[in-house]
Structure 1
Amino acid sequence: MSEDKKGILLESGTNELEVIVFVIGSGLFGINVMKVREIIQSPPMVEMPNSHDHVEGIIRLRDEILTVVNLSKVLGFPPSSTLVEDKLIVSELNQMKVAFRVNSVSRIHRISWEQIEKPSDLAQGLQSVTTGVVKLDEQMILLLDFEKIIYDISPEKGMNINQVKALGKRERSNKRIVIAEDSSMLRKLLHDTLSEAGYNHLTFFENGKEAWEYLEFLKQGDKVKEEVQLIITDLEMPKMDGHHLTKRIKLDEELQSIPVVIFSSLISDDLFYKGKNVGADAQVSKPEIVKLIEIIDKLS
């Protein structure tokens, strides 16, 4: 591993990420390098009967069986005319490994989350599967929402109210919780599940920067303790990521006592230390909503 690569892996809270850029059709797309385990040529594949339209089949990679998702189908693009040259991006998210078929992989770019714009401003018809857009070298790179792509294929593997109902009857809580989450789908799921769990005082923000500005506003009126008793943050967000948000909170004398819980698809053994380094009080992997609720209860 190069010294440059080691640097960004060891740093925490810099508000930077590395993006692997890949091609589908005539479009450029990106995935956070932290989600990628390897990039391979497509091995022999077994088609699965009665599978989702976006699922191409399964492959065996060493001792693991992986589902292959065809991103051309997800995006509504024509099928690849160069299947032999296609690549599979083997990813790990939400504690699952999935292989995504792409036409080709170009290079890795290091960028700041500040460079990433909301997809609704620029991405036109691709908003539903896009988390952000970055302009780089006169090119437009769309960052895909891989969690939503997986959820659309297998909703049962995501979080839902039934998981919370299994906890039994719960008392209402007055705890006021601030949540930074860029995915509109996950904001709704979090609202529904946490409300079912008894947490009704929820304030949502689309990224870490908006959440930080809200905290700064409360500080001016000396209302932080009154309005915020716990913060939940995603990691991957335009403008300011969750590690940087957590780092800022924990370095601020007025805010550092507020518990911060990181709730992300990137909570793996390899990355757990990054959240610890910036002072997170707890880290939970999506979609473990019951574990998240248990931690919120404990931090009450």
Structure 2
Amino acid sequence: MAGLLDTVNQRTQLVGQNRLELLMFRLNGRQRFGINVFKVKEVLQCPHLTILPKLNSVVRGVAHIRGKTISVIDLSLATGGRPIEDLSKAFIIISEYNRSIQGFLVGGVERIININWEAILPPPKGTGKFSYLTAVTEVDNELVEILDVEKILHEVAPVKTDVSAEILASATEIDKKAIEKVILVVDDSSVARNQIKKAVSDLGFKIVLAKDGRDGLNQLRKMALDAPISDLVALMISDIEMPVMDGYTLTAEVRNDPKLSDLYVILHTSLSGVFNQAMVEKVGANDFIAKFNPDELAGAVLKALKAADPS
């Protein structure tokens, strides 16, 4: 296991090619799950866990790793399953999401696979709003489930979504014509979409939602049939990691389409720890912010509007 992630930092060239690498793992039983290697900092045999009072019921304890105290979330418990029992054989996936580092307790870790985002599909219809799946794919003729980690973390430790009074005060200067336009929010996580929607709606904008890059691109092209896109859409806020089409590829497609190329694009992602600034510049995004801070997001929106109308 020690060498499993030795080359993670060299894998960033996959970003922008609509490809990703999944670290496959199991919880209890045979079902396989996957997490993007780009979000994984380290994989460890489960260390000693310290139990603290008043922890969330899905937090099995805290681990002291490399001078830091990290909460360890039992992914099986968090998704409605039974707890992972034999900790001596379990592993912790150390990951960074939304500016915080946490450990995910799993039953076993398998291998890393290289796959195209087009092979990552939305969850089957009928899974319902209480599902913890954000996507699925197939490996070795078996279904691999990709969990909505942002939803899990939101249930463990909800984040603030209200924009501060100070930012709202500065938003009163937004041009009325800009407010009449919509903001397109593209994210595969329903929790993330709603967080962004709440923050941006506080500024007075109407929001159009898309569940992945392909959906977002199709909506933009449909809108551009009726009028110049700049007359209809103030800007686009897009996640990077999404099934079917990732945010980098979406941005590149927007820049290569004459009817969409002037659209202001903000990339908004939980990949804060390993973010590749050069890649953002390569695909032509205007701005990048790490998830999730409502004031920073609102500030980026106001910055975009000022860039469009410097007067």
TM-score > 0.5, shorter chain as reference: yes
Q: 1:71 to 1:7 in 2, by over 3 A?
A: closer
Aligned residue for 1:197? 203
- Runs (5+) with no aligned partner, structure 1: none
1:241 aligns with 2:246: yes
The TM-score normalised by the length of structure 2 is 0.87
Aligned residue for 1:287? 292
Letter in 1 for 2:161: N
Displaced runs of 4 or more, over 6 A:
4-7
Q: 2:53 aligns with which of 32, 45, 49?
A: 49
1:95 aligns with 2:96: no
Q: 1:269 to 1:38 in 2, by over 3 A?
A: closer
Q: 1:179-190 alignment to 2 at 5 Å?
A: 179-190=185-196
Aligned residue for 2:309? none
How large is the Cα RMSD of the aligned pairs?
A: 2.4
Equivalent pair of 1:119/1:132 in contact (CA under 8 Å): yes
Aligned residue for 2:68? 64
Q: 1:95 to 1:194 in 2, by over 3 A?
A: same
Distance 2:83 2:261 in 1: 51
Larger mean Cα displacement after TM superposition, 221-230 or 65-74: 221-230
Shift of 1:150: 1.1
Equivalent pair of 1:75/1:126 in contact (CA under 8 Å): no
Shift of 1:255: 2.0
Letter in 2 for 1:18: E
Distance 2:240 2:192 in 1: 13
1:213 aligns with 2:218: yes
Q: 1:296 to 1:93 in 2, by over 3 A?
A: same
Give the secondary-structure state (helix, strand or coil) at the position aligned to 1:152: helix
Distance 1:239 1:59 in 2: 36
Shift of 1:166: 4.9
Shift of 1:247: 1.3
Aligned residue for 2:263? 258
Distance 1:36 1:70 in 2: 16
Q: 1:257 to 1:126 in 2, by over 3 A?
A: closer
Aligned residue for 1:223? 228
Distance 2:274 2:34 in 1: 23
Give the secondary-structure state (helix, strand or coil) at the position aligned to 1:140: strand
Shift of 1:5: 6.7
Q: 1:165 to 1:259 in 2, by over 3 A?
A: same
Shift of 1:81: 3.9
Q: 1:106-145 alignment to 2 at 5 Å?
A: 106-121=110-125, 124=127, 128-145=131-148
1:24 aligns with 2:1: no
Give the secondary-structure state (helix, strand or coil) at the position aligned to 1:121: coil
Give the secondary-structure state (helix, strand or coil) at the position aligned to 1:244: helix
Letter in 2 for 1:100: F
Shift of 1:204: 1.0
Distance 1:126 1:17 in 2: 26
Shift of 1:226: 1.9
Letter in 2 for 1:194: V
Give the secondary-structure state (helix, strand or coil) at the position aligned to 2:196: helix
Shift of 1:223: 3.4
Q: 1:166-177 alignment to 2 at 5 Å?
A: 166-169=166-169, 170-171=171-172, 173-177=179-183
Equivalent pair of 2:161/2:293 in contact (CA under 8 Å): no
Equivalent pair of 1:12/1:275 in contact (CA under 8 Å): no
Q: 1:10 aligns with which of 13, 22, 27?
A: 13
The percent identity for this pair of structures is 28
Q: 1:75 aligns with which of 74, 79, 97?
A: 79
Equivalent pair of 1:48/1:56 in contact (CA under 8 Å): no
Equivalent pair of 1:229/1:259 in contact (CA under 8 Å): yes
Letter in 2 for 1:64: K
Distance 2:75 2:65 in 1: 19
Equivalent pair of 1:74/1:149 in contact (CA under 8 Å): yes
1:33 aligns with 2:37: yes
Q: Deviations over 1:226-247 (max 9, x none)?
A: 2123111011211111111011
Equivalent pair of 1:46/1:57 in contact (CA under 8 Å): yes
Larger mean Cα displacement after TM superposition, 74-83 or 282-291: 74-83
Distance 2:123 2:199 in 1: 26
